[in-house]
Amino acid sequence: MAICRVDRTAVRSALVVAVCLGSPGPSAAQGGSAPLSATAGAQTTQTEQGHTDQASREAPGTEYPALHLSGFADVDFAAQNKSAGPRGFSEGQFVLHFASALSPRVNFFGELSLTPRADAGSGTPPASGFNAEVERVIIRFDQSDQLKVSFGRYHTPVNWWNTAFHHGQWLQTTISRPEMVQFGGTFIPVHFVGALAEGAFPAGGWNLNYQAGLGNGRGNVSSRAGDAGDNNARPASLLSLFTKPDRAFGLQVGGSLYFDRISVPGQPEFSERITAAHAVWQREDPEIIAEIADVRHREIGGPLTASSLAYYVQTAYRLPSFARLWKPYYRFEHIAIGATDVVFGSVPNLDGSTMGVRYDISTYAAIKSEVRVRRRVSDRPRTNGWFFQISFTF
C-alpha cells in the first residue's frame, strides 16, 4: 500500500508541474523513453504519462501488470438560447483513464467515458441515463525512442488539440473545445482505429517527431470511426511531423496529412484529403495555440470537388499576481464549408469568439467562466451564451 501512495504522489506532482508551468510532453531527445506516445505528446496526457512512466521504471522483479487509475469529471451551467444547446445545470462527462505496464517495453492505455443522455428514460425500452463509450484502447511496444509501434483506438493525430486534450475537461484551459475538433463533430475525424508507428530524433536540438498510421477512418456515420471494421476496405492513412526545439522551450510546430475514402450508405463515395498545420507555445505566460485544417472531398467517378477550411487562434496568460491562480483567455475560430461539399452538408459555418477566465481553486480543481459569441450565417444575428464549469481530476 505504501508503494501505491508514493506512485500517486509522484504522478500528481508531475501533473501539476507540467500543466501549471505549461511544459510540453517530453520528446525522446528531451527526456528519454516514455510509455504510450509521450514522444509524440499525442495520445497520453501528462497524468497518463506519469502513471506509465512510473510503472516502466520499476525495479527488476516488479509484478506485471502494474495498473494505475485516474479520473476526470465536471459540472456545468449554461445560459443561452434554447436553439443553441442545453440550458441550466448539466453533468459533464465522467472519464476514467487506465494505464498499465505489461512489461518494461509493453504498455497499455485505455479511456472510458460516461456521458449523460438528454433522452434518458424515454423510448421503449427506456433509454439509460448515460452512454458508455470506449474512447481509447492502445497497446504499445517500445523498440527504442526512434520507433514505438501501437495498435488500438486513438484520438486521430491529424491536429494538435485532438491529441493534447482528451475527455477530461480539467486538462484544457477553456470550457469548450474548438468546434473543428468537437467530440461528436464531423469536420475532423476525432477517432482512428488501427496501427501507429512513432518516434523522435534529437536532430541537433530540433527534436523531430513523427507519427505514421494506417487503419479505419470514418465509418457509416462520418462522425464516428469504423470500430467494427472498415466499411469500404480502403484504409485511412496519416502522417504527422513536428518539432520541439530545445532553444524555444514549450514551442511545437508541425503539420499532418490524412487520406481516406468515405462511404456513407445512400450517398456517392468520396476521397478525403486533410492538410493541417499547427503552432503552439505551450507556456502559461503566455499560452498560444493556432491551428488550421483544409479538408478536400472529391467524388469517386463524379464531377464534385469541394474544399472546406477551418482555423482557430487561442491565447491565454496566467496572471503573476493572486498566487498565479487566475488565467484569462480568448479564442477566435472560423469554419467555412464549401458550397458544393456534400459530405459536410450538415456542418454549419462559424465565426465565433470565446472569452473567459480560469481560476485554479486547488491543485486538482478549477472554476471556469466564459462567454461565447457565434455567427453561423453572415446575414444573421450573432448568438450569445454564458457558461460556467467546475472541473477536476482525481
pLDDT, tens digit, 9 for 90 and up, residues 310-356: 999 999 999 999 999 999 999 999 999 999 999 999 999 999 999 99
Residue in this structure with the C-alpha cell 459569441, named with its chain if needed:
373
Q: Give CA torsion, residues 192, 177, 290, 246, to 10 deg.
A: -70
Cβ neighbours of 13 (radius 10 Å) = 12
Q: CA 252 to CA 250: how far, in whole Å?
A: 7
Distance from CA of residue 278 to its chain's centroid? Answer: 14
Which pLDDT score, from 0 to 100, does residue 43 have? Answer: 58
Q: How many angstroms separate the CA atoms of 319 and 316, rounded?
A: 9
* Buried-exposed string 147-181: b where 16+ CB fall within 10 A, e elsewhere: ebebebbbbbbbbbbbbbbbbbbbbbbbbbbbbbb
- Give me the DSSP letters along 194-243: EEEEEEEE-GGGT-EEEEEEEEE-B-SSTTSB-TT--SSS--EEEEEEEE
- Count, residues in the chain: 394
User: What's the predicted TM-score (pTM) here?
Assistant: 0.84
pLDDT per residue, tens digit, the chain (394 aa), is 333 333 444 434 444 334 333 333 333 333 333 435 333 334 554 444 544 444 445 545 678 999 999 999 999 999 998 777 788 999 999 999 999 999 999 999 999 999 999 889 998 999 999 999 999 999 999 999 999 999 999 999 999 999 999 999 999 999 999 999 999 899 999 999 999 999 999 999 999 999 999 999 999 998 999 899 999 989 999 999 999 999 999 999 999 999 999 998 888 999 999 999 999 999 899 999 999 999 999 999 999 999 999 999 999 999 999 999 999 999 999 999 999 999 999 999 999 999 999 999 999 999 999 999 999 987 778 889 999 999 999 9
Residue 393: other Cβ atoms inside 10 A = 22
Distance CA 270, CA 191 (A): 19
Residue pair 258/237 in contact (Cβ under 8 Å)? The answer is yes
Q: How many helices (H) and strands (E) does the chain have?
A: 4, 17
Distances in Å between the alpha carbon of 293 and those of 90, 255, 256?
31, 9, 9
Supply the DSSP symbol for 118: T
Quote helix, strand, coil % in the chain, to nearest 5. 15, 50, 40
Contacts (Cβ under 8 Å, ≥6 apart) of 344 = 186, 187, 295, 297, 306, 308, 337, 338
CA distance 217 to 157: 12
Question: Which helix (H) or strand (E) segment is 305 a member of?
Answer: strand 305-316
Distance CA 38, CA 46 (A): 8
Neighbours of 95 (CB within 10 A): 24
User: What's the rounded Cα separation, in Å, for the pair 175 and 93?
Assistant: 12
